[in-house]
Amino acid sequence: MIELAEVLDLADKSGFTRAAKLEVSTIDLNPEVRQMCADNKCQIYDTNWACPPGCGTLEECGTKVKNYKHGVIVQTTGELEDSFDFEGMEEIKNKHNASFDRLVEALFEKKADMLPLGDGCCSLCQKCTYPEDACRFPEKAFSSMEAFGILVSDLCKLNQLEYYYGPNTLTYVGCVLFN
């Protein structure tokens, strides 16, 4: 079993702007958020084991969440030149994803019992095996918070974290549930 302080320390060392305790009881799986996935604006719906419907029904996701007692929420915030700074947005996203990968890998090395929920879909494989074959890396693949129906801005507020840090900023969010 890994302790909260150790996970927070690992998150800090992984390069996030912020890491804070996440009360698992504040996680609400919202069917409206999940419907946004089904609307397929990202064009990944039904193409990946970590995205709906491959990641399971909302009820199945809820069962997974209930298996964990502790959590950490992580954020990467960056500044943009303006609201059209797509290059800056991509840089912040890449920094967040690299930090998240480092954190998950560090926890994996410690054999932590965990459920990582990132920002965006799993990208471990160049091409996902979904739906023909089983996931190649089920112990390392992770879904997004939205795939689990989590309204990220609400979860941040419920855990005393800002979500919006002012004009020309962008924040990416992820979380790790663990025992």
- Do the Cβ atoms of 116 and 108 come closer than 8 Å? no
- CA 82, 85, 89, 94: dihedral to nearest 10 degrees? -130
Q: According to the model, what pLDDT value does residue 123 have?
A: 83
- Note the pLDDT tens digit of each residue in 128-140: 999 999 999 988 8
Domains in the chain, number: 1
SS (H, E, C) the chain: CCCHHHHHHHHHHHCCCEEEECCHHHCCECHHHHHHHHCCCCCCCCCCCCCCCCCCCHHHHHHHHHCCCEEEEEEEEEECCCCCCHHHHHHHHHHHHHHHHHHHHHHHHCCCCEEEEECCCCCCCCCCCCCCCCCCCCCCCCEECHHHCECHHHHHHHCCCCCCCCCCEEEEEEEEEEC
- Note the pLDDT tens digit of each residue in 54-68: 999 999 999 999 999
pTM reported for the whole predicted model: 0.94
Q: Confidence class of residue 121 from pLDDT cuts 50, 70 and 90?
A: confident
Alpha-carbon span 142 to 53, nearest angstrom: 14
Q: Is the peptide bond before 167 cis (omega within 30 degrees of 0)?
A: no
18's tokens: 């912020």
Q: Please classify residue 8 by burial: count the beta carbons closer than 10 Å to its beta carbon, then call 0-12 exposed, 13-18 middle and 19+ buried.
A: middle
- When pLDDT is averaged across residues 69-83 and rounded to a whole number, the result is 97
Mean pLDDT of the chain: 95
Name the amino acid, one letter, at 130.
Y
Q: Which residues span the domain enclosing 10?
A: 4-178
Closest CA to 124 of 106, 112, 136: 136
Q: According to the model, what pLDDT value does residue 122 have?
A: 86
Q: Is the pLDDT of residue 106 over 90?
A: yes
